[in-house]
Structures are given as structure tokens and as C-alpha cells.
Amino acid sequence: MSQEYFSPKGKSPMSQEDADFEDDVSSRSPPSETSPGTNSMTPAYMTVGTGSTSQHAARLQSMLDQDSGYGGSIAGDEVMVHKSYRATTDNDWRAHSGAIHQLWYNQHRVALGRSINRVVELLRELQSFNAKWPAHYPSVQRPDGAPTPLNRSSTRPSFQHTNTMSADFSASGPAPPLRRAMTSLEDQAVAESSRAAENRPAPEPRLVTPQIEQEFSILKLDLKLGSLHQAELVHSLEKSSIAALLDGKISSSLKHLLLLRDRIEDTSSKVLVTGDLNAGKSTFCNALLRRKILPEDQQPCTSIFCEVLDARENSGIEEVHAVHHDSVYDRNDETTYDVFTLQELEKIVTDNEAYTQCKVYVRDSRTIDESLLNNGVVDIALIDAPGLNSDTTKTTAIFARQEEIDVVVFVVSAANHFTLTAKEFIWAAAAEKAYLFIVVNGFDTIRDKERCQKMILDQVGKMSPRTYKEAGELVHFVSSNAIPMAPVPPGGPGGSGSGSGSGGGGDEPGDDDPKGKGKDKEKLRDFTTLEQSLRRFVLEKRARSKLAPAKTYLLNILDDVHRLAEVNEHVARSELERVTKELKEIEPLLESSKRAKAEISDQVDKTIEETCQDVYDTSRRTINLAIEHAGDHTHGVPYPGLFNAFEYAEELKEAMMAEIAASVTLSEEHARERTVKGVNAIKQLGILHLGNEYSDLSFRPDVMFRRKRDSVARQVDIPTELWDFVDWSTLLQRQEKVAGTGMALTLATAVGTQMIGGYGWMNHALGAVRVLGNDNLRRMILPGLAVAALSAAYYILNQIPQSLPHRLNAKIATQLAEMDYAHVNSTRIAGSVRKVLRFPADSLRVGLQRSVEQLDSRRDETLRIKGESEVARKYFSNLVRNSDHERHAVERVDLDAVPPGTIPPTGLGGH
């Protein structure tokens, strides 16, 4: 499609020069229907009117040809155009003005197209970044966290986001509830002096719910779940869920941007005529066409979209293409549609289930100045939509359709005003398109016209302020049924409709009444004014009707992206500050933890070694002492006399062994005490270095040594012998001290000892006899011997209680020494102590190891977050800059400005 105009069908007579020009242009550029491959980026031009000076037109054409449409040269060209092109006639002027409009339009179209491409790129990057680093969605402050006049100075406005964490930075005031991670607003507040804070106007939370709703238009998350408020939902959702929702929003925005790009690159203009059921949409379309093409009825009849197109787009043939369900319409592929005549349209349109839409190709024989379809500027598609409210599916389809069209003409019944669905539709369309064209139809039925006008305009003002601002151009009160229709060719389509060829509304009585005719004229005049406005809106102000939606959408999405980027830059920066601070804390902590781990391990080993050594030494000393001194006393065992000496010996042995066993128990008791001390020392170390992390193992000292008792003592078996009753060493020592026993006793003892101790006592006795001689012996020794024997016997028997313990003790000691009793028991006791101490020591070691590992992984994690935050900060600060830059670029595209060089010189017409 192209925008060239070749005058054939206009009523205006074509001069030779025009024909030359046409030939001239057509030789370079084929007519619209034969140039489907025209590059949409290369501006196509138009000439409107008769254009009497072809060299001027050609010059302008060549200037436009040279313009790439990408700006730059335009200013110079405009000056040249301005200076050189001096139109002298109205038509020349209009041709000139139209060309400049076109050039100007192309310039804006290309600028916006480029912006769309850049925003698409920005959004795609944001989308992929959001997948790696879930973007934070600004949440709201809960009502309880909102600043009150009293706590204003202490409560800073805070961005809060989806990463729930406990707020550990509350310097004053009560601990705030769990909230989303911090953002730099709070950090900035830290840097602010208290005085400045006091002087600063009381901060309001930047993102409270209504503000979010206003601040975000396109990327606003549509959270309508259950009874939860959006704010609560944002709080309750996981960071990743929010990111996923955002991802969906970005995807749909991308889709929409691509649609917008297609739309602005499409040189045709799509005009959607919509409105409530029976508002007179079809009548209005017919009035525009001045032919009764679309079926009108008092009851709802339009059930599918009817797209009215210039028949030139269908090789000049008037017909209807009814598009099949699930088919994408392609005029060159007849399998996608069925062909009908215009007369058959009514039957396709009413109660249709077989087709989704129909393309209605009609020939508009009116001049290019009058006709909307055949306008000489752009290809128009006039789309008659089913009435809103007909059913939900159709209403939804109309809502969806409005996204891909350029101009919304909303037909409202003057009698019924706007229904709720109409209002919703206008809200949505106004947000997207900025300007709507509103046709208040059936104005003939209204008696108090002024009141009706006021009421409707008030409502328009509320729904679309921009449309209201230009109500003179955009809101029209007409009676579509009063428009005269073209006479029907015999057997041809259309024909005199409601207004019939003579014009005149159906409900106005008396067409021949001069007053009635006057009224009809008035209606026709109103409708013509509407037509001119609509032409201006669709054709000349295409910058508005076609480009304004793109501009509005771009500004909205860039605003959202900018806001989101700002929030995320704050979040990333504060995250970066937080992790940098955290790293500064973690790294020395990790080092000292590693050092502490080694030191504490040594210290614990030392404690264990020292304790065990002490326990061993003490036990050994105690047991040895007990063994050594077990024979020092009789342990309270009464001596029962000579005849029970053996029992006495047994009891003594038992008592001695009990004494020795008691020393073992004493050693165990001491070991227990030392173990308690050791365990406590290790625990102290644990608590000191691990704090709450240290898992305190329950230690019960009373259980120690319960099972592993001294088993060695049971192996001691000392038989009592006769000689045990005589303690010879004591005896000898005592004998020296005892006076009166003298030599004889010594001798007797010596002899006695020999006699008693040896077997050959007889030999010894004979030896003694030989020494002393028989006589002396008889005289001295025998009585002495007797005395000595008696006193020795007496002494020995008397000494049993003193000597027996020593003798037994010596034997016990010998046997215990052979068993290594003291060592075995000391080792056992120290071993138990070691075993017990090893538990808390191992637990401490494990705890320390775990603490080092935890710190290690925390450091790794923090380093990871730091890296990510650094990337995020850079990315979002670039996004803040780029979105801002792009926004300014879009803002500079001034669609409302009058193109320079199009203001008509005095005395010339123009629009």
C-alpha cells in the first residue's frame, strides 16, 4: 500500500499539468494497489487537489525523495521549501501543505519507530536480566509502618521490596515488622544530618498503594487474588514470583510494542467504529460512505467486524470477503475467505457463526476532498464493530481489537448516554490512544439539546480529558440517519437508506415542510463538520491519531522502566553497601575463626593431656601410698588370739585390700572432679568461641566408673602361711632394743632362726656343740636356750598383731606390684577421663569446623551477591540513564505542533 494519490476518481477537474505530474510521479512510483512491495520506511508522498504548477510539485517531490525520513536534512529542506515554494493559489498551497505534513509525519514516524526499537531492546535486556537477578518490585509500606506526625523524624520513607528479611538497622524506635529488604533511601537518610532531616518537609511514603497504581501504568502487576490487597500480595509473594509476574508484564508489553511498530509502519489507517448496541454505528458508517452498505436495524444486527475498504485495494471490484474461522485473511488466497456481493452482506453480518469478520470493498465515487475512503492521503479501513454489551466474547474482542487500530470513533446514543461497558472501553482506549473521536448519534431525538451536550461533554471530560480539551474537533452531536444517501444504481448495492437520496431523518415529520428542510440542512451541516473533523483527525492529524498512541505508550512504558530501574538501582546499591560492609566483618572473622580453631584445638588437647596426666599421677600416687601403708595398722580388726590367728590374717587381708580398693575409689573420685573441671573448661571455650552455636552435651559425672570397676583386686590371692605370723625384720629390730635378752637371746635368735628357717637344724646344733665344747654347752646353753626359746615364743606370739599386717602387706604389695596394680588402675582411670573429655572436645572441634565452614560459605555467598549487585547496580543505573534519555527523545516528538511551513499565507485557505 502507498499513500500516493492519483486523481482519477475525484470530481475536481484535472489540468494538463496535473496529468503531466501524475505521469511524472507514476513513472517513478506505481499506484497503490500495484505496489505492495513499497518499502514502508521510504516515505510515499501525496498530492492533493489540482496542483497547477507541476514543476513546483516535482521539485517538492524530489526534495521529499531525497529525504530519508530519518530527519537531519529536514530543517534545511524546510527552509528551502519555505523560501522557494511560494504558492499562489489555494490548491497549490494545499498541495504544499499536504506534502510538508507528510514529510513531517514521516519524520515523527521514523523517530517513534526508532524509539520503539530501542525500548524493545531495553525491555528484552530487562527481561533477561530479571531472569538472572530477579528485579525488585516497589512495594508499599504497611499502614502500621506509615509515618505519623510524631515519629516522622525517625521514620524515613523507605523502598521496600520482595526479599523478606529482618530489619537489623532499626537504630531507634520499636523494632519494625518483617519487611522487604532495605533500599538506599534509608541509607541516604543516614548520610543526612539530623538538622537537615528536621527541616526537611515530612516525608511521605513514596510508594503507597494508590501511588503504585498511578505510578505504574504498564508494568503494574495485576494482583487480584482473593481478599488480599495488592500491597499485601506483593508482601506475601516470593521475590521469584514477583519477578515471574514482571516477566509476564514485560512480555505482553513487548508484544504490544511490536504491534505498535507494525501499526505505525503500516501506511494505512484503521478506524474502528464502536459503541453500544444499536447506537447507530452502521448508520454512521453508511452516512460517511453516503451509501447504505452496512445493514441497519432497530434490533442488534452487527455480529461480526465489517471492515470497509476502498475497492481499489481489490482491483476496483466491489464485493464482500467473509473470512473463515481460524484463517488469516489474505486477499490473494481465496481459501481464506468466501466472496459475496454487497447485497448479501446483511445475511453474513446478522447472526453469523461461520465467519470471524468480513472485508467490504466499496467504491467511493465522491471527490478526494469529500470521501474518507478515497481521500488521496492514506488507505483507510473503516471497521464497523459489533455493539459493546452484545456478549462478553464480542466485547472482549472489541477491547482487544482497539489495540491494533489507529483511530477509535466511539458512537454513543444521545438518548442513552454512556453505559458502564462504554465507559470502561473509553477509559482503556483513552489511556492508549490519548484522543478519541466521539460521535453522539441520534441527536435529532433530543429535545433539550444543550442539556444533553453539557451532560455528555462532562462525562467525556471525566473519561478522556485530552479528548474533552479538544471537544470542538473531537466530539460531535449528529443524526446519522438524516444524511442523504447516493441514488442506488438499478440492481446495484446500497441505495437510499434511512436518509434516502433526498436526505432527511426518518423521524422528522414532513419532509416538505420548509422548517423541516431547514432542520435537515442543519443536520447535514453538523455531519459535514464532523466529516471534516474526522478527515483532519484521520488524515492530516495522523501524527495524532496514528502516532500519538505509540508516543503515549512509549512514554508510559519508559516511565515504568525508569521507575523500576531507579528502585532497583537503589536496591542494588544498598545491597552492595550491605554486602561490602558484611564482607568487611566476615573476612577478619573468618581469619580469626580459622586461627581460633587451631588454637582452641591445641588448648583442648593440652587441657585433656594435663587432666589425664594429673589424674594418672594422682591415682598412682594415691594407690601406691595405700598399698605401702596398708600394713601400718590393723584396720580395726581385733586380734582374736593365737588360736584364731588364721582368721585374723584373712580379715586383715580383706581390710587391707579394702583400703587399697578405697584408694582406687578415691582416685576415681578425684578423676571425676578433674573431669568435671575439664569438661567445664572445654564448655567455656565452646561458649566463648561458638556462642549459641555450641551444642552442649549433657555430662553426668556420677555415671563415670560405674561399669568399669577395678577388676585387678579380685585377682589378688595371698595364702596365709605360718611364717607370716613372724615378722623377722621387726623382730630383729626390736631385739636390739629389748634389754636383758643379751647375747643369749641373740644367739638363741640366731640359732632359732637357723633352726626354724632351715632343714638341717640338727647339723647347726652339732656345729654349735663343736664350737663350745660339750661341757660348756651343757652348762651355759641349755638353760639359756630354754629361756630364749620361751621368751622368743612368748615374744613371737605377742607380736602377731603387729607383725602380721606388715608381713601380709608385704606379700600383698609384692603381688600387686607384679600385677602392676597402681599403673593399671591409674591408666584405666585416666583413660576414662580422656574418653569423657573427648566428647565435648570433639563437639567443640566439630562446632569450630562448622563455624569456619559456615563463615567460608557465607563469605562466598556474600562475594557472589556482591558481584551480582555490582552488575545489577551498573545495569540499572544504565537503564535509568537510557530510559530517561529515550523518554526525552520521545517527548521531543511533538505531535501537537503545527508543521513549520504549513501555516497558510494571508488570503489563502488551508484547513
Ligand X SMILES: Nc1nc2c(ncn2[C@@H]2O[C@H](COP(=O)(O)OP(=O)(O)OP(=O)(O)O)[C@@H](O)[C@H]2O)c(=O)[nH]1
Q: Which residues lie near ligand X (CB under 6 A)?
A: 277-283, 296-298, 300-302, 386-387, 441-442, 444-445, 479-481, 498, 505, 507
SS3 575: helix
* Antiparallel, parallel or unpaired: β 319-324 and 355-362: antiparallel
What does the H/E/C string look like for 706-745? Answer: CCCCCCCHHHCCCCCCHHHHCCHHHHHHHHHHCCCCHHHH
Q: Least distance (Å) from ligand X to the CB of residue 475?
A: 15
Distance (Å, whole) CA 190 – CA 573: 14
Q: State the DSSP H helix or E strand holding residue 657, giving kind and residue range, or none if neither.
A: helix 645-690
Distance (Å, whole) CA 29 – CA 15: 20
Q: Least distance (Å) from ligand X to the CB of residue 437?
A: 16
Give 3-state DSSP helix, strand, coil % of the chain, rounded to 5: 60, 5, 35
Q: Pick the closer one to ligand X by CB: 278 or 395.
A: 278
Q: Least distance (Å) from ligand X to the CB of residue 116?
A: 34
Distance (Å, whole) CA 208 – CA 221: 14
Query: What 8-state DSSP symbol labels residue 704?
Result: T
Query: What 8-state DSSP symbol labels residue 73?
Result: S
What does the H/E/C string look like for 481-535? Answer: HHCCCCCCCCCCCCCCCCCCCCCCCCCCCCCCCHHHHHHHHHHHHHHHHHHHHHH
Let me know: does 825 contact 623? Beta carbons within 8 Å. Answer: yes
Q: What are residue 53's phi and psi, to 5 degrees?
A: -105, 100
Q: Pick the closer one to ligand X by CB: 280 or 899.
A: 280
Distance (Å, whole) CA 820 – CA 24: 130
Q: Pick the closer one to ligand X by CB: 364 or 444.
A: 444
Q: Pick the closer one to ligand X by CB: 301 or 586.
A: 301
Q: Pick the closer one to ligand X by CB: 297 or 334.
A: 297
Q: Least distance (Å) from ligand X to the CB of residue 497?
A: 8
| C-beta pairs of 813-821 under 8 Å, 24+ apart in sequence | 813/627, 813/628, 813/630, 813/631, 815/716, 815/717, 815/718, 816/627, 816/660, 816/712, 816/716, 817/627, 819/712, 819/715, 819/716, 821/623, 821/627, 821/660, 821/712, 821/713, 821/716
Q: Pick the closer one to ligand X by CB: 387 or 752.
A: 387
* Antiparallel, parallel or unpaired: β 407-413 and 269-275: parallel
Q: Pick the closer one to ligand X by CB: 507 or 632.
A: 507
Distance (Å, whole) CA 789 – CA 741: 11
Q: State the DSSP H helix or E strand holding residue 189, giving kind and residue range, or none if neither.
A: helix 184-191
Q: Least distance (Å) from ligand X to the CB of residue 334?
A: 28
Q: Pick the closer one to ligand X by CB: 92 or 520.
A: 520
Q: Least distance (Å) from ligand X to the CB of residue 492?
A: 21
Q: Least distance (Å) from ligand X to the CB of residue 441?
A: 5
Q: Least distance (Å) from ligand X to the CB of residue 107?
A: 38
CA distance to 25, 33, 38, 363, per residue, from 7 (Å): 12, 14, 20, 14
Q: Pick the closer one to ligand X by CB: 387 or 847.
A: 387
Residue matched to cell numbers 508484544: 255
Q: Pick the closer one to ligand X by CB: 183 or 283.
A: 283
Q: What are residue 320's phi and psi, to 5 degrees?
A: -115, 130
Distance (Å, whole) CA 219 – CA 251: 10
What does the H/E/C string look like for 310-361? Answer: EHHHHCCCCEEEEEECCCCCCCCCHHHEEEECHHHHHHHHCCCCCEEEEEEE
Q: Pick the closer one to ligand X by CB: 32 or 302.
A: 302
List of residues 6+ apart from 603 with CB closer than 8 A: 685
Closest-CA residue to 161 (of 218, 246, 237): 237
Q: Least distance (Å) from ligand X to the CB of residue 411?
A: 6
Q: Least distance (Å) from ligand X to the CB of residue 328?
A: 25
Q: Least distance (Å) from ligand X to the CB of residue 19?
A: 41
Q: How many helices and strands (H and E) does the chain possess? A: 26, 11
Q: Least distance (Å) from ligand X to the CB of residue 127?
A: 40
Q: Least distance (Å) from ligand X to the CB of residue 385?
A: 8
Q: Pick the closer one to ligand X by CB: 442 or 840.
A: 442
Q: Pick the closer one to ligand X by CB: 147 or 497.
A: 497
Q: Pick the closer one to ligand X by CB: 49 or 275.
A: 275
Q: Pick the closer one to ligand X by CB: 515 or 737.
A: 515
Using N-to-C axis directions, what is the helix angle for 74-84 and 54-66, rounded to 10°? 170
Q: Least distance (Å) from ligand X to the CB of residue 479?
A: 4
Q: Least distance (Å) from ligand X to the CB of residue 159?
A: 49
Distance of CA 301 to the CA centre of its chain: 49
| Angle (CA) 507 512 513, round 5° | 80
Q: Which grid coordinates are listed for 405?
A: 487500530
Residue matched to cell numbers 520521545: 890
Distance of CA 298 to the CA centre of its chain: 54
Residue 106, number of CB atoms within 10 A of its CB: 26
Q: Least distance (Å) from ligand X to the CB of residue 575?
A: 56
Q: Least distance (Å) from ligand X to the CB of residue 548?
A: 26
Q: Least distance (Å) from ligand X to the CB of residue 904?
A: 34
Which amino acid belongs to residue 262?
D
Q: Pick the closer one to ligand X by CB: 351 or 609.
A: 351
Q: Pick the closer one to ligand X by CB: 511 or 884.
A: 511
| Angle (CA) 71 74 77, round 5° | 155
Q: Pick the closer one to ligand X by CB: 245 or 388.
A: 388
